[in-house]
Structure 1
Amino acid sequence: MTKHDIFQPATLKKLEKQFADWEANELAESLGRRGESKDEFRTEAGIEIKRVYTQLDIADIPPEDIGLPGQYPFTRGPYPTMYRARPWTIRQVSGYGNAEDTNARYKYLIAAGQTGTSTDFDMPTLMGYDSDHPMAFGEVGREGVAIDTLDDMEALFDGIDLNVISASLTINPTAFIIYAMWVAAAKKRGYDPQRLMGTIQADILKEYVAQKEWIFPVRPSVRLVRDTILYSAEHTKRFNPISISGYHVSEVGGNAVHEVAFTISFAISYIEECRKLGMSVDEFAPRLSFFYVCQADFFEEIAKFRAARRVYAKVIKERFGAELAESMRMRMHVQTAAMTLTKPQYRINLMRTAVQALAAVLGGAQSMHTNGFDEAFTIPTAEAMKLAIRTQQILAEETNVTSIVDPLGGSYAVEALTSEFEAKVFDMLKQIDDLGGAIKAVEAGWMQRICADTAYEYELRKARGERTVIGVNKYVEEDEEPADFAPHPYDEGTLERQLARLNRVRAERDTAKVHAILERMKVIATDEKQNLLPVTMEAVEAKATLGEICDALRSVWGVYREEPIF
């Protein structure tokens, strides 16, 4: 046998006979003695897991579908050298209290080895309310940092070198405002916007499916995403204006196939909206980025990341006619799965997170957040975040897994699972196309229903013990001691400090100028072909508050009310 004839018909026929003989002899004898633990084995997404994989399972995969790293369709990674050139970005999410509180956490984590910031915002900021609005009562700075004005954004990144540290901003309905504030703050400090690095989440379609944080109806919300993408393509060329997010689809019950298919369908919708204004896909697609979860099903998750890159590359090339490799290259941030963390025996969350992080590395992530062991209780403590960083550092610097690009490439099992996963994603994308695309599928509640049904089935399996959760339905310790750490505290003085700055800004600004800009924003909002980002930049630089900007658009577009899904 030469090294080239492994998939020749005669060779495959010999392999088939060898496999059949093995089943009839060694396997049959073993099963006769003790059997197996269950009748069927499947991944969390329902893909059958074979007992063993051989060359026969990858014989039908076109070699070009596997390819090489940095080569279309990017199955083996978006870049040729991957972690041999530099490791993934360590990006631990932070956000609580006022801007100064979160800034201090940034600096603590950077000192511990974090290489990029990531920010959670509080509920009023997410929902477009200023901190003194009645709807903000009790929520200011509780689940993230409170941002009302440009002054808050300046304080948030005080002392952070934005030419060295990239910033990830986890926000959606008000993403266009937070982006404008971040750019304006950087410009005030003398930074060139074209050199700024980072990502804003901005993916509003997944909000209607999963996270349920929205302000405006679906279509004007998608317009805001479009406007941000197109503005950033011209003014902040190194910045990712959207992180199209499957993480939240998984968190509300979607399986791995749903996560990837829904995410790519969202990307298709955003691309289509941008192209309606005459933009070529190659003008903006290179800066689109993605955000996935890494769950517990180790090999399925690795196959998921590899298949996602392949599907996306094919869609961008074949559907949209992209010519640049940068347009077809899916770049992804990965977070370990918060929903897998447990209060019972919470220390073992460290092991869960480490295994999930390893799968993300073997799958080829570009940046990663590892969860704190105490996140099942509240916002993670500083100690938990340092341990999460150390988890990534051990993988990057002690294990040598960064030395080989796509080390599981060529694995019979991983390649077979990758191709099966790809086929399932394309099948679901066709279903979404048949419904009229992602926007119509969201408006009809189709995706929401799928996630709800899958979540219900998962909980039934867990209750029956078919899905093991250590410490919850197996190896339970009835007399477990209470948690021996102090959870992250909430500073009751947060609101007072936040309102002091908000009131000062309102008193010192040119309010008449702010109102004039907001009136102009309302007019622009009525013409869907105009881009709202330039006037948004004017508004934040004039010290309009986030709530005032959202109120101006609420007066034009109204608000979204979800239809119940049964």
Structure 2
Amino acid sequence: MFDEEELAAIRESREEWEDETLSEYLEYGERKDRFATVSNHEVDRLYTPEDVADLDYEEDLGFPGEEPYTRGAYPTMYRGRTWTMRQFAGFGTAEETNRRFHYLIDEGQTGLSVAFDMPSLMGLDSDHPMSDGEVGKEGVAVDTLADMEVLFDGIDIGEVSTSFTINPSAAVIYAMYVALADRKGIDRTEIRGTLQNDMLKEFIAQKEWVIPPGPSLDVVTDTIEYAVAETPGIHPVSVSGYHIREAGSTAAQEAAFTLADGFAYVEDAMERGLDVDEFAPLLSFFFNSHNSVFEEVAKFRASRRVYARLMDEWYDAEKPESKRLKFHTQTAGQSLTAQQPLNNVVRTTLQATAAVLGGTQSLHTNSYDEALALPSEEAVRVALRTQQILAEESGVGDIVDPLGGSFAVEKLTDEMESEILAYIEEIRDIGDGSVRDGVLDGIDQGYFHREIQEASYEYQKRVDAGEETVVGVNDYTIDEDPDIDILHVDEDTQETQLDRLARVKRERDDDEVEARLDDLADAIENDENVMPFIVDAVKAYATMGEVMETFSEQYGQYSEKIGLA
């Protein structure tokens, strides 16, 4: 973007500045010997046109809404409409969460996001012995279609977009939502939302699974195939880097491992016989936004560029929607502190700002009390108001890609892109040319576990040594007993949930349930798409646990290999 004469003049001026102006101030020293991001990526004192001398505007940046989408997924971005504001909600029974949903909608939230309790996440019914004490504690309990009917009572699911944060049992929740639409008389093509349903990242980072990686991937591909045919408004998988980052990865690892998982799903669906331009537009992504604002902006911009280029070069995608990286962002849960919890409002605001400056399509802002408990109503309202103030008062969404052209941000974007590509190529090499096989083999070999563990360990060492400041934790501390009103889940929740489950089991047709579960088992054995059979089973009020047990009986269970070199 600059010719050689201009660069030479800038170089000469910079050297003059360093000798005549900077040197005098350096005699007093700087705050640190080394400045780096949360990911320990060193940043320079100053960036100039020299740092972006090789930048090709048309090839590397382009315009918003056009390849390579560095400057934004859509041409008008938030001038057309603001990002979707989602607040993660779910606790106790379906009735309690339904009340929270109505509260959030009344307060101006534009999309629902459902949090499930641990038994539901793991495909266990509330009456399973392992569920005891966990029912409704970290999310809402959903055992049968009856719970789903209560959860969305009074909510038009043909109008609201709903995100489901669930993975091993995501196909069952998806089936329940489809069955609910059928019961309400809403055409399946009208329901909108997103399933997290990213099983590869479970084996990499979050560690929640029921069946082994290969069969888990098959089920994810079944949901993709079914969504293309039945529910084009549902994103059947949200490829999730959030949990990879929460496990301790760097920003580059988060982006690289997430994109690699996405390419693995692409390859598996293509092997199934699906056309890339038929299903790729339904894929969505989910990223973390951490404290280093410019690193996060660079990560988002670089991820869009890498995705667009590789979808084109490796998978011959042609439609713009197949190469347009669309993503949800959640602020960094791991950054929240139990000490001085109101400080978390500031952290969340910075992280949300980075997400908006980086071009997210939807956003969840964490509540300030989440290091202590599930969010209280007041904390959720503050988190939502944070987004609304950003959208309505700050002006950060008024300019498309406002940091585009910044010497620092463009340099960081280039560096991030190079690091992401290096990781993806390494994963592809592990799989002998297949990203899918590289991800599966990397899981089996402990590759991802080691990479994330090392990054996490290095970060904690810096915190312990005081090289990383965590305000209120290792510096600026006070003696306090936080006087925060936290949410308490009623201890009667489990009994209430067990009563409803028992009632459903009494009133349903057990012969019909058994027949539908047998059909599902046959479908698994015959390599058929399982989704139509799960929909039929949940319509008969088969439970979450009964459906998932059918999978376990067919595929067996999985134990992680630990300590591999």
TM-score (norm: length of structure 2): 0.97
The Cα shift of 1:124 comes to 0.8
The Cα shift of 1:403 comes to 1.2
Rounded Cα–Cα distance in structure 1 between residues aligned with 2:342 and 2:553: 49
The corresponding residue for 2:483 is 484
Rounded Cα–Cα distance in structure 2 between residues aligned with 1:179 and 1:473: 44
Once the two structures are overlaid, the 10-residue window that deviates more, 209-218 or 172-181, is 209-218
Rounded Cα–Cα distance in structure 2 between residues aligned with 1:371 and 1:169: 17
The Cα shift of 1:336 comes to 0.6
Query: Which secondary structure does the structure 1 equivalent of 2:272 belong to?
Result: coil
1:365 aligns with 2:360: yes
Q: Deviations over 1:448-475 (max 9, x none)?
A: 1111111111111101101100000001
The Cα shift of 1:23 comes to 2.3
Residue of 58, 61, 66 corresponding to 2:52: 58
- Counterpart residue identity of residue 468, structure 2: R
The Cα shift of 1:37 comes to 2.5
Rounded Cα–Cα distance in structure 2 between residues aligned with 1:53 and 1:164: 47
Query: Which secondary structure does the structure 1 equivalent of 2:415 belong to?
Result: helix
The corresponding residue for 2:534 is 536
The Cα shift of 1:68 comes to 0.8
CA contact (8 A) 1:448 1:565 kept: no
Rounded Cα–Cα distance in structure 2 between residues aligned with 1:45 and 1:501: 47
The Cα shift of 1:7 comes to 1.2
Mapping for residues 187-226 of structure 1, pairs under 5 Å: 187-226=182-221
Q: Deviations over 1:424-470 (max 9, x none)?
A: 00001011111111111112111011111111111111011011000
Rounded Cα–Cα distance in structure 1 between residues aligned with 2:273 and 2:159: 34
Query: Which secondary structure does the structure 2 equivalent of 1:465 belong to?
Result: coil
Rounded Cα–Cα distance in structure 2 between residues aligned with 1:195 and 1:55: 49
The Cα shift of 1:548 comes to 0.4
The corresponding residue for 2:449 is 448
Residue of 392, 400, 412 corresponding to 1:397: 392
The corresponding residue for 2:332 is 337
1:151 aligns with 2:152: no
Query: Which secondary structure does the structure 2 equivalent of 1:402 belong to?
Result: coil
The corresponding residue for 1:108 is 103
Once the two structures are overlaid, the 10-residue window that deviates more, 280-289 or 451-460, is 451-460
The Cα shift of 1:485 comes to 2.5
TM-score (norm: length of structure 1): 0.97
Q: Deviations over 1:331-380 (max 9, x none)?
A: 11111111111111111111111111111110111111111110010100
Gaps of 5+ in 2: 432-437
CA contact (8 A) 2:39 2:459 kept: no
* RMSD across aligned positions (CA): 1.1
CA contact (8 A) 1:180 1:540 kept: yes
Once the two structures are overlaid, the 10-residue window that deviates more, 43-52 or 486-495, is 43-52
Residue of 408, 412, 415 corresponding to 1:417: 412
The corresponding residue for 1:86 is 81
Gaps of 5+ in 1: 1-5
Rounded Cα–Cα distance in structure 2 between residues aligned with 1:192 and 1:489: 38
CA contact (8 A) 2:298 2:413 kept: yes
The Cα shift of 1:502 comes to 1.2
CA contact (8 A) 1:140 1:495 kept: yes
Rounded Cα–Cα distance in structure 1 between residues aligned with 2:206 and 2:273: 31
Residue of 67, 75, 78 corresponding to 2:62: 67
The Cα shift of 1:399 comes to 1.1
1:500 aligns with 2:499: yes
Query: Which secondary structure does the structure 2 equivalent of 1:119 belong to?
Result: strand
- Counterpart residue identity of residue 227, structure 2: S
The corresponding residue for 2:306 is 311
Rounded Cα–Cα distance in structure 2 between residues aligned with 1:504 and 1:326: 46
1:427 aligns with 2:422: yes
The corresponding residue for 2:555 is 557
The Cα shift of 1:162 comes to 1.6
Query: Which secondary structure does the structure 2 equivalent of 1:214 belong to?
Result: coil
Residue of 236, 240, 245 corresponding to 1:245: 240
The corresponding residue for 2:263 is 268
Rounded Cα–Cα distance in structure 2 between residues aligned with 1:40 and 1:139: 45
1:293 aligns with 2:273: no
Residue of 3, 12, 15 corresponding to 1:20: 15
The corresponding residue for 1:327 is 322
Q: Deviations over 1:284-332 (max 9, x none)?
A: 0001001111000110001111111111111111110000000111111
Residue of 308, 316, 341 corresponding to 1:346: 341
1:483 to 1:310, Cα distance in 2 relative to 1, 3 A? same
The corresponding residue for 2:435 is none
Query: Which secondary structure does the structure 1 equivalent of 2:238 belong to?
Result: strand
Rounded Cα–Cα distance in structure 2 between residues aligned with 1:231 and 1:15: 57
The corresponding residue for 2:36 is 42
- Counterpart residue identity of residue 193, structure 1: R
The Cα shift of 1:565 comes to 3.1
The Cα shift of 1:278 comes to 1.1
CA contact (8 A) 1:209 1:249 kept: yes
The corresponding residue for 2:402 is 407
Rounded Cα–Cα distance in structure 2 between residues aligned with 1:277 and 1:244: 19
Once the two structures are overlaid, the 10-residue window that deviates more, 40-49 or 126-135, is 40-49
- Counterpart residue identity of residue 483, structure 1: P
1:463 aligns with 2:464: yes
- Counterpart residue identity of residue 518, structure 1: L
The corresponding residue for 2:510 is 511
The Cα shift of 1:36 comes to 2.0
Rounded Cα–Cα distance in structure 2 between residues aligned with 1:471 and 1:39: 23
Task: After the TM superposition, list the runs of 4 or more consecutive aligned residues in structure 1 that deviate by more than 3 angstroms.
Answer: none
The Cα shift of 1:207 comes to 0.8
Between the two proteins, the alignment pairs up a number of residues equal to 557
1:545 aligns with 2:539: no
The Cα shift of 1:187 comes to 1.6
The corresponding residue for 1:173 is 168
Q: Percent identity?
A: 49
Rounded Cα–Cα distance in structure 1 between residues aligned with 2:372 and 2:467: 26
Query: Which secondary structure does the structure 2 equivalent of 1:91 belong to?
Result: strand
The corresponding residue for 1:3 is none
Query: Which secondary structure does the structure 2 equivalent of 1:276 belong to?
Result: helix
